[in-house]
Each structure stands twice: as C-alpha cells, then as structure tokens.
Amino acid sequence: MFEKVVPVNRERHARTRIKEITGFGFAKDFHIAYLTMHEFARASAVYPIVFVEDKEKDAFRPVTLLGLDAGENLFIGEAGKWEASYIPAIIRRYPFALAGNGTEGHFTICLDEASDLVSVDGKDGEGSPLFDDKGEPTQVIENVKRYLSELQQMDQVTLAFSKMLAELNMFTPLQMRVREGDREKNIAGCWVVNEERLNNLSNDKFLELRSKRFLPAIYAQLMSLAQIERLMQLKDKRLAPQKGA
C-alpha cells in the first residue's frame, strides 16, 4: 500500500494537496488488513478476524482476511468501490501514517508521496492543502493528527490485548480447508483464540480478561470465523465468469 513514505514537512509540502478518497483501488492487492481491538465488533459482521505472528517483535497482531489468496482483495469492486459495510481504519487513513521519531511515545506524521491522492506540487489545484500561505498547518493536518493519535492509542491497547492472550496460551493455529471453485485449499499461517482453553480458564484469569474489557473482542473474533464462508462465496462469484468463458 505504501511506496514512498516521508515525514510531513512544511518546506517540502508547502504546496502539497490531498485529494479525497473516491475509490480504494490502492488496496486491491491486499488480502489482509490490520485491525485494532476496538474494530472487532463491526468488522466481525463482515470479515474473518485472525491473528498473524510478528516474529521480529515476538508478538501477535489481529488482521482481517480480505481474500483467500495473496494479492487479492475480494471486497474491491468496479472503479475501486469497497463492497462491504465496514472499512478497516488502516485503509481509511491512507495516504497518511505514523512513524516513530526515536523518542518513546512520540510519533511523526508521514504520507505516501507515491499515492494518486497526493499532489506534491499542487499544480492541478485538486484536493485540500496541507499548509496555508503562511506555512501554518491547515485543518487537514489537524484532523489527520487527531485521527492518527486515536489510532495509536487503540494500537497500544490492542498490543496489550494480544500479549495477554499469548501469555495465557490462548492462540491455536487456524486449520481449515475451504472450497475454491472446484478445488479445496488449506488456510494456514493464521492463529485464532482456542475456545476450549478460554472456557477452561481459571475464574481469576477470566475475570481479569473481563476487567480489562477484552471479552467482547474475544467473542467477536470467534464469531467472525463464520465469515470465511462469505470469502468463499465472493471467490466463487469472481471465478464464475472465467468458467463461462
């Protein structure tokens, strides 16, 4: 998704304009999207939610499955339309991102200059400017700063959520065979909450999960797995024209 991420700078981006997102073609090749724990309730009604292992950081991160194959987003339709009721926040924040600046707890706003949504020189006059004529940040910057700050806070809670599940040995590999046209394939490399281990937790640990308000997210993740059937239906729909050709 991101190709040329650079820190937002008033000198470099004095004339830069950001166009409104009218399509999501930039996400057509992404078969997963990172989620924060706070998104589970809405996302679970549309997508399967699983965890992937970040071995470099020795952590698990929750993601939505957007497709059954790498490089395929089954929720992107014609003209880049997102064909689902909920769009993950990481997609909605594009072309902006946060990057650490070397100081703990401090981050720098960045943007992807390679994005079609970014007009670096602003010559076409499309979009909203990042800075005004006096070099002061516009409302665009203020809105992005607030939005990314909220996402960062949610991200920290999500990391704590995943860490506790890992410490409780709650993750188990997802072992599922799905139908894809006339053949079957295995979904591998993903982890989910083990419902049996959840039910066998001690009262103290279960109450700790409740006190941290982690239980709704856990149950949302478990229920979301039924959405794998939706992915198979969407895949079959895409393969249908090829069969008739």
Query: pLDDT of 8-33, one tens digit each?
Result: 999 999 999 999 888 899 999 999 99
Q: How confident is the model at residue 139 (pLDDT cuts 50, 70, 90)?
A: very high
Q: How confident is the model at residue 106 (pLDDT cuts 50, 70, 90)?
A: confident
Q: How far is Cα 222 from Cα 19, in angstroms, rounded to an integer?
A: 38
Q: How confident is the model at residue 182 (pLDDT cuts 50, 70, 90)?
A: low
pLDDT at 226: 93
User: To which H or E segment does residue 238 belong?
Assistant: helix 228-244
CA-wise closest residue to 190 among 49, 47, 75, 56 = 49
In this predicted model, which residue has the larger pLDDT, 81 or 182?
A: 81
Q: How far is Cα 193 from Cα 208, in angstroms, rounded to an integer?
A: 16
pLDDT at 185: 73
Please enumerate in sequence order all residues whose Cβ is within 8 A of that of 127, keeping only pairs 6 or more positions apart, or say none: 17, 18, 19, 20, 117, 119
Chain mean position to CA 65: 10
What is the number of residues in the chain? Answer: 245
pLDDT at 92 over 70: yes
Mean pLDDT of the chain: 89
pLDDT at 73 over 90: yes
Q: How far is Cα 142 from Cα 132, in angstroms, rounded to an integer?
A: 13
Q: How far is Cα 8 from Cα 113, in angstroms, rounded to an integer?
A: 10
Q: How far is Cα 43 from Cα 37, in angstroms, rounded to an integer?
A: 10
Amino acid in the structure at residue 204: D
When pLDDT is averaged across residues 150-179 and rounded to a whole number, the result is 92
pLDDT at 54: 86
pLDDT at 197 over 80: yes
Query: What residue ranges do the domains of the chain occupy?
Result: 5-239
Return the DSSP state at 202. Answer: -
Give CA angle at 238 (233, 241), nearest 5°.
125
CA distances from 203 to 19, 171, 200, 206 (A): 52, 19, 9, 5
Q: How confident is the model at residue 102 (pLDDT cuts 50, 70, 90)?
A: low
